[in-house]
Homo-oligomer: A and B are copies of this chain.
Amino acid sequence: LRVALDAFGSDGAPHPEIEGAVLAIKEDLCREVILVGDEKVLSAELSKYFYDPARISIVHASQRIEMGDSAAASVRTKRDSSMMRTIALHKEGQADVAVSAGNTGAMMSASLITLGRMKNVLRPAIAGVFPTQSGHQVILDIGANVDCNAQHLMQFAVMGSKYYEFFFKAPQPKVSLLNVGEESAKGNAVSKEAYHLMAESKDINFAGNIEGKDVLSGITDVIVCDGFVGNVMLKTIEGVGFSIFEILKEQINKDWIAKLGAMLSYPVYSYIKKKLDHTEYGGALLVGLNGISVVSHGRSNAKAIKNAIRIAARIAESGFVENTRDYFERL
């Protein structure tokens, strides 16, 4: 399995990308990684690592899409960017997946233009895998579509269900609609209509509405929402986790007994930090495309890049794309 990796995506690029690629090969997560970006910089950096040269190669790209760039404009004007070249390698069949820690909006636009939507898919979406108290959960859309209608949400439900099914090899995952209450009559106009579509669908195992308080509890497998709510919710989770740890640190430093206690409890804190740490998961899949595009957090470190490669490889081998394409083609 060959992975095309945008080596100039993350905030700290290209170091996390290069180290992540070396780690991925070391752990045999894929057969080959193609690093895409400024050849001079990449070969100089790569030469510092010990690796199998048959398994890591470099493809040159002269431009870079920045986090602040407009997604639509940058994919038109930066045709020789590392991100566009990365996706092109996948499109041309020289790589089986495309991975980037760059601008998510640009990655979606670039993937849409280059790979195209699956037939009958109205809107591709971004699907993330997140830890729960007891396992994992797929949440989509986490940011691609800020204005959705009920039909879009219904399609997200099918794509999220198939993602969970193939990725975790678990048939008939429970699919829930994120809403303001559990009863079917709750919600805004779009969520009320989506509820009915999902309840009537034979293609998903619909478990009804879910509220914000149950998002990380693990009572469902797939959570469907529009990209506006999904984005606000996930960033809120990130912020709350951070705030709790900040207050914890501040209070602990005020009191030496509490400090001693915290030292003794250290394994517990590091367990929770690991649970909340995006680098442990670090890869969201763009679903509904004719191909496999995985985006990683802009603040990715080498471990996050390695994990994004792991996710991309696992999806490629899972049959998710083929099955989903067949489903939508038959609609």
Contact = CB atoms under 8 A, between A and B. Distances in A.
B217 A239 contact: yes
Given A180-B146, A244-B244, A275-B247, A236 B257 contact: no
A229 B178 CA distance: 10
Contact of A265 (B185, B214, B261): B261
A236 B237 contact: yes
Nearest to A255: B267
Contacts of A153: none
Interface in A98-124: none
Interface in A237-266: 237-244, 246-248, 251-252, 255, 257-258, 260-266
Contacts of A185: 70
Nearest to A240: B240
A17 B180 CA distance: 26
Per DSSP, chain A at the interface is helix
A241 B240 contact: yes
A282 interface: no
B255 A268 contact: yes
The 4 A-B residue pairs with the shortest CB-CB distance, nearest first, are A261-B264, A212-B235, A261-B265, A212-B236
Given A70-B185, A133-B247, 8 more contacts: A146-B191, A180-B227, A212-B236, A213-B242, A215-B240, A229-B232, A236-B236, A261-B263
